[in-house]
Structure 1
């Protein structure tokens, strides 16, 4: 199966967590890798970066790419508990569902990205390189891409055996093969923020939020009200991550980002609405958070396929998903691991077989997880389901409530990484 004569050469478009994960997995498979990223430099902080959580399987994979696996643990906090509660009258809370064996860990996006980036060989990532187009020669033995370096207006070409599209939910490479494919707007967007209290440890804001949410530091909280829900959990280095999902008409997004710039008037309205809707503790936390931003929530029906010739999609380019089951980063890590194992198994000389096996392993998993995450989001947001009913958190049965916990996700405990599983 494996062709050991020469290492394959892979080009990865996108230097976010999905792209860096692919770089690690392909390097582990013995391939040469170049990552093309449009950002000017590695992020040291990110005003639009926020919290994410990794499941045990993804953590095991990422740890295998790091020289010191304990760093992953030391850069995160535990999420041992998932707790959903209905908030009635801003003060009263009723537990809707609880999982005391959640076993996730939470990271700030920048922290996880930094760990992955620093563990790569030097010069793996080419910063300030904007992908423009791709060319597959008639013999389909390679793939070429054109890029531009904006600050010099220099144009470059790179070629490789394999092109990996890790360029996000609005992927230009995906659009090349599926020009008519569109993202599906969920019907709601989300205010997001990270509150840094490292210099404000004993403030009224922190004292009150810890009193209202006593298991912060080990718990993933969901507050549910009719037509809205809010997520809250603690990050390492004294930061609190919150996400408030609210019903809204689809905004007119400019460019290729699903984050929206907000102005002071929008922020002030959000503060006013939070004071009316949420507890005083949560509303105060939102008011104290600097630079909140809006994520527009999209996903996609499963794509018809994940690869064309020697071009393959990974991460959000392959499966845009709503965030309600913590899938985006976890699926990207699994994509990378499976892709690396497949190309190692088959070698550069049998790339078509490797990509076919990658698709056979990942497609059933990601399709079910994307659709389940969509369903979970509609339940939590109280939106109508196919039978025109809506989830009522105040009156839900134990069985109904259990269906919105993460552990109801298909392949929650483990997703296959080979055809033998």
Structure 2
């Protein structure tokens, strides 16, 4: 029997990472996830970039993980200006010591799930409904079993909210906090080139982007930018950000299904804006989709209800993707939470552990969310900090372009944790 029971709402990467970290602190963990089954690691999915600190943390949780086989090294962060008329590209800013790795979301999720400690139970197909404080100082969580429709209760000493950027648990404590629309959306796609390495499309894209496999490319045109990098197992991940009014969404998802007419217009526009090689890759990508880009102002707190509830991952810090922070912040949230619970294991309630977790993580994630917001506005040519005009890749000086690099992110070299026994 563990030191207590933590109920984690959300079984994405953040929730499974908390399963590893909290179980490592000696707790039993129950994860509630509405998806009916874990990711298989296949399909198109999405790519993500992991920094050195997150990679080292994940290697602790996934014994025997062959990082060289599971990820590609991203040694270079390269920002280029694209002339939409001539299709010529020139370097704006380059960092040859980037030290990130490219991974596939589905593969990371599968590996985290398969390596969960015995103290972790994942209840798939369980949709969170509500929670209440129990008389003994714990929490009672109510969920619906999607396959049967029945309602069940799970009792614990701690509730970990890993339920994403639209978190219903966060809304319980901060009902007036609204997600902030960034001013742009992202077209996204993963191009599977297995068996197509010698095709005209791949020959062309490797000619136009000769460092694919080791480089994170940012191409900036006028008031728009695109991202391209290679993933393991013969896939290319691309994103294209487009300024515009906020779309109308239904439900809680920030992803929109793209209708055929939308996709056709997007592909035609890609040919106008980008080099022919990238435009062709976009045209030949199956099932592209749209993410509406949101973040939120930094939260005043990360723990609530007298130390019974704690927020992690996108529930704690909705962020734009430009600093490659979402997954990295989630992993470090989990690591810090686990270490704080271990350090205060003599306490009957986790309130002091959560206070330390909040003290460690809140300054980091607040700074990173705000910087990612600024980085996105820079690359989209939107005004920053009250300036009249936005960044223009066509006229930017070499010094101005340096602010585009990923290493301008606060705590780029690593965030403080509770691992060393102090703040």
Note if 1:317 corresponds to 2:319: no
Partners of 2:41 and 2:105 within 8 A in 1: no
1:397: Cα distance to partner?
2.4
- Report the more deviating stretch, 45-54 or 164-173: 45-54
Which segments of structure 1 move beyond 4 Å, counting only runs of 4 or more?
A: 45-48
Aligned with residue 255 of structure 1, among 251, 257, 273: 251
Could you tell me how far apart the structure 2 residues matched to 1:184 and 1:316 are?
A: 14
Partners of 1:77 and 1:235 within 8 A in 2: yes
Unaligned runs of 5+ in 1: none
The residue correspondences of 1:328-339 to structure 2 (distance < 5 A) are 328-339=326-337
- Report the more deviating stretch, 21-30 or 385-394: 385-394
Partners of 2:222 and 2:394 within 8 A in 1: no
* TM-score, scaled to structure 1: 0.96
Change beyond 3 A, Cα 1:75–1:45: closer
Aligned with residue 53 of structure 1, among 13, 28, 49: 49
Note if 1:151 corresponds to 2:147: yes
Size of the alignment, in residue pairs? 415
Aligned position for 1:246: 242
1:295: Cα distance to partner?
0.4
1:90: Cα distance to partner?
4.7
Partners of 1:227 and 1:247 within 8 A in 2: yes
Aligned position for 2:411: 411
Note if 1:126 corresponds to 2:128: no
Partners of 1:96 and 1:394 within 8 A in 2: no
Note if 1:340 corresponds to 2:351: no
Could you tell me how far apart the structure 2 residues matched to 1:6 and 1:300 are?
A: 35
* 1:72-93 Cα shifts (integer Å, max 9, x gaps): 3321101000000000125211
The residue correspondences of 1:349-364 to structure 2 (distance < 5 A) are 349-364=348-363
Aligned position for 2:422: 420
Could you tell me how far apart the structure 1 residues matched to 2:371 and 2:135 are?
A: 40
Partners of 1:382 and 1:390 within 8 A in 2: yes
Aligned position for 1:368: 367
Aligned position for 1:290: 286
The residue correspondences of 1:68-147 to structure 2 (distance < 5 A) are 68-69=64-65, 71-88=66-83, 89-121=85-117, 124-138=121-135, 141-147=137-143
* TM-score, scaled to structure 2: 0.95
Could you tell me how far apart the structure 2 residues matched to 1:48 and 1:295 are?
A: 15
* 1:174-213 Cα shifts (integer Å, max 9, x gaps): 1111111110000000000000010212100000000000
Q: Over the residues paired in the alignment, what is the CA RMSD in angstroms?
A: 1.4
